Amino acid sequence: MMAIWLLAALAVSRAHQGLAPVFAPELDDDSVVHMQAPSSADACQLPPEWSGRWFLNEHNQPLKITTTSISLKGRCVATSESGYGQAKNYLFKLETKNDVCWRCMVFFFEHHNVLQFKESRCSRTGSAEMISQICSGFNGDDPMMTLFRADAHPQPCPIDAPANFTYRDMKGSCRSRMSTIDACASNSKLRLRFQACPEITYSESQVDDIECIGAWEYHNSRYFAAKLVNHPALFEGEKYRCFMYEKQSDGGRVGISADAACRGLIGVDSASTVIDYKIDSYPTAQCTFPSFLRHYHAEQGGGQKKWESVATSDIHRITADEWVEGSVASGENRSTAVCIQEEDLGKTHRIVVYLVSGCSRGYQCIKVHRRDEQVIEVVRGLLAPNALEACSEEYIDEHLMTYDTLLLAGSVEQHCPNHGRYKIHGCDQDNAASYYFGCSAKHQLIVNKQCRPNETGTIVLLTRALKTIGSSR
Ligand SMILES: *[C@@H]1O[C@H](CO)[C@@H](O)[C@H](O)[C@H]1NC(C)=O
Ligand SMILES: *[C@@H]1O[C@H](CO)[C@@H](O)[C@H](O)[C@H]1NC(C)=O
Ligand SMILES: *[C@@H]1O[C@H](CO)[C@@H](O)[C@H](O)[C@H]1NC(C)=O
């Protein structure tokens, strides 16, 4: 049934006159919703799982849904059975200074983060008792609207990546160049690179990074919603798109809505952009990461090691095939790498990896200096297009490499090696600047640099890695 009125919605969408102001300054403002008598408030409750802030196409501010009202729509005053199966009719009353609007709405809760609805036009007259009359006034040709939860937790994207694709959009068909979908380090993100095609006049290449927020099915059709995350100039309410997709074993087709209104996704072919993709693959591991990076020896209790970056606090987890760097704060993966070449140079290992970092990918030369059981230094080159060049001068330029020190999570403190007090060279105030090794505690180094007093602090020694644990000016 939905498919039928979606089709109708497409047909009339051009003629549709928006009822809501396009840029309402204060959508969160409840002042437009005048208090009703308590009895009528009890009469209509919206499901609590709809509550929250939601973006609607072209609106810069999110709408607020509570269990009794929706900003711009007013307060719910009555509910009844609808012609749409489980979905109910909700009657809303919106009162503004010198106007009143009674409106019937039907909702489709597609996903925790995606709520679709249809609504009738404003009726200037109405009452809770007139619900069936007002709701009968709207039919298949009212457009479907889509709401996207403002603080949606990202969800895994349902299409496979990496992939190659050709596409057709409103300007024409681009088949002569291969466009690509890249998997990002986080499984909720994809990078779509649309190539420019000579057969389309004025075609430009474009990169869209999308973050998936929810997938759903309707009558054997599969959909997902995503947010464009690399177009900062767009209003929040313009950043969302709906996707309809079909999968085959080696690829599939995806229809993408023209905007956040998500109208017209009746079939993949009717979408404003249609891509045909074939699954591609990333290089697989050719070697294994050195075992000192991976697990404890049996006498240390075995188990997987977890490394913590001194520079970023990110957590690095390394298995035989995969090196995953994750953010503790967001729980997301920042990068994943597989081992392509590995060379043991004694205390140093030189490893070429295939790295997916954020939504970029390429080969990278990594030098791992093994400082101690608990401390490694990791020096990374730039991303290279192939493994052969990764460790060439161009990609391991000293000034462009990134340096990080990783500490084994749960490192134990060590006693300082050079017990005593040391003067700092180059500090001309006599007796002022000094290092005390192991004075107040065996594992502590007290830095007392009076020429630069704000650098004074206490450092705990984890073998040769120095980790500041607090300032004691
Ligand atoms: C992070 O990477 C690991 C290992 O590949 C994977 O199992 C996990 O699903 C990833 N997590 C996210 C949020 O992408
Ligand atoms: C995808 O495109 C890349 C680069 O154009 C090419 O190397 C690769 O073979 C293609 N894969 C498929 C499955 O077409
Ligand atoms: C130390 O303090 C001075 C003056 O208060 C300030 O300019 C400088 O940036 C500080 N240095 C550090 C490392 O905080």
pLDDT in tens, 251-298: 999 999 999 999 878 899 999 999 999 999 889 999 999 989 998 777
pLDDT one-digit tens code per residue, 55-70:
999 888 999 999 999 9
Q: What integer pLDDT is reported at residue 437 of this predicted model?
A: 58
Q: What integer pLDDT is reported at residue 398 of this predicted model?
A: 82
Alpha carbons 86 and 110: distance in angstroms, whole number: 13
Higher-pLDDT residue of 157, 431 = 157
Q: Pick the residue whose CA is nearest to atom 2 on ligand 2.
A: 164
Average pLDDT value over all residues in the chain: 81
Q: Cα 126 from chain centroid? A: 44
Q: Which ligand is nearest to the CA of 250?
A: 2
Asked if residue 6 has pLDDT above 60, the reply is no
Ordered by where they begin, the domains of the chain are 2-149 (no CATH), 163-279 (no CATH), 291-408 (2.40.128), 420-470 (no CATH)
Q: Pick the residue whose CA is nearest to atom 1 on ligand 3.
A: 454
Higher-pLDDT residue of 355, 301 = 355
Q: What integer pLDDT is reported at residue 70 of this predicted model?
A: 96
- Written as six digits, the tokens of 215 are 């997938």
Q: Which ligand is nearest to the CA of 211?
A: 1
Alpha carbons 421 and 7: distance in angstroms, whole number: 82
> Ligand 2 mean position to 165 CA, how many Å?
9
> Ligand 3 mean position to 451 CA, how many Å?
11
Pocket of ligand 3 (CB under 6 A): 454-455
Q: Pick the residue whose CA is nearest to atom 9 on ligand 2.
A: 280
Ligand 3 atom nearest 453 alpha carbon: 1
Mutation to probe ligand 3, out of 447, 452, 454 (largest number of atoms < 8 A from CB): 454
Q: What integer pLDDT is reported at residue 311 of this predicted model?
A: 86
Q: What integer pLDDT is reported at residue 419 of this predicted model?
A: 62
Alpha carbons 263 and 11: distance in angstroms, whole number: 10
Alpha carbons 419 and 371: distance in angstroms, whole number: 21
pLDDT one-digit tens code per residue, 419-462:
666 655 555 555 455 565 555 555 565 555 555 555 555 555 55
Q: Which ligand is nearest to the CA of 321?
A: 1
Q: Which ligand is nearest to the CA of 154?
A: 1
Ligand 1 atom nearest 331 alpha carbon: 13
Alpha carbons 360 and 372: distance in angstroms, whole number: 32
DSSP state of 439: S
- Written as six digits, the tokens of 138 are 């709207």
Provide mean pLDDT across the span 134-147: 81
DSSP string, 275-336: EEEEE--PPPPSS---GGGTB--GGGT--B-EEEETTT--EEEE-SSEEEEE-TTT--EEEE
Higher-pLDDT residue of 162, 429 = 162
**Among residues of the chain, what percentage have pLDDT more than 90?**
51
- At 120, give phi and psi (nearest 5°): -85, 170
Q: Cα 217 from chain centroid? A: 22
Pick from 448, 473, 472, 442: nearest CA to 460: 442
Asked whether 276 lines ligand 2 (CB < 6 A), one says no
Q: Pick the residue whose CA is nearest to atom 5 on ligand 2.
A: 178
> Residues near 231 by Cβ (< 8 Å), separated by ≥ 6?
208, 239
> Ligand 2 mean position to 164 CA, how many Å?
6
pLDDT one-digit tens code per residue, 112-123:
999 999 999 888
Higher-pLDDT residue of 137, 93 = 93
> Ligand 3 mean position to 448 CA, how many Å?
15
CA quadruple 120, 126, 129, 130: dihedral sign: negative
pLDDT one-digit tens code per residue, 355-393:
999 888 899 999 999 988 888 999 999 999 999 999 999
Residue 41 near residue 75, CB atoms below 8 Å: yes
- Written as six digits, the tokens of 348 are 């140093």
Three-state DSSP class for residue 168: strand
Alpha carbons 425 and 128: distance in angstroms, whole number: 85
Q: What integer pLDDT is reported at residue 382 of this predicted model?
A: 95
Asked if residue 25 has pLDDT above 50, the reply is no
> Ligand 3 mean position to 315 CA, how many Å?
30
Pick from 86, 184, 78: nearest CA to 193: 184
Q: Pick the residue whose CA is nearest to atom 12 on ligand 3.
A: 454
Asked if residue 28 has pLDDT above 90, the reply is no
> Ligand 3 mean position to 470 CA, how many Å?
17
Alpha carbons 110 and 223: distance in angstroms, whole number: 9
pLDDT band of residue 14 (cuts 50, 70, 90) is very low
Q: What integer pLDDT is reported at residue 426 of this predicted model?
A: 56
Q: Pick the residue whose CA is nearest to atom 1 on ligand 2.
A: 164
**Among residues of the chain, what percentage have pLDDT more than 70?**
77
Asked whether 160 lines ligand 2 (CB < 6 A), one says no
Q: Which ligand is nearest to the CA of 181?
A: 2
Ligand 2 atom nearest 178 alpha carbon: 5
Asked whether 341 lines ligand 2 (CB < 6 A), one says no
> Ligand 2 mean position to 391 CA, how many Å?
25
Q: End-to-end alpha-carbon separation of the chain, Å? A: 72
**Count of residues in the chain:** 473
Asked if residue 22 has pLDDT above 90, the reply is no
Taking the CA atoms of residue 352, residue 354, residue 357 and residue 360 in that order, the dihedral angle to the nearest 10 degrees is 120
pLDDT one-digit tens code per residue, 306-315:
999 988 889 9
pLDDT one-digit tens code per residue, 200-259:
888 889 999 999 999 999 888 999 999 999 998 888 899 999 999 999 999 999 999 999
Q: What integer pLDDT is reported at residue 160 of this predicted model?
A: 87
Q: What integer pLDDT is reported at residue 12 of this predicted model?
A: 30
Pocket of ligand 1 (CB under 6 A): 186-187, 322, 324, 332-333, 336
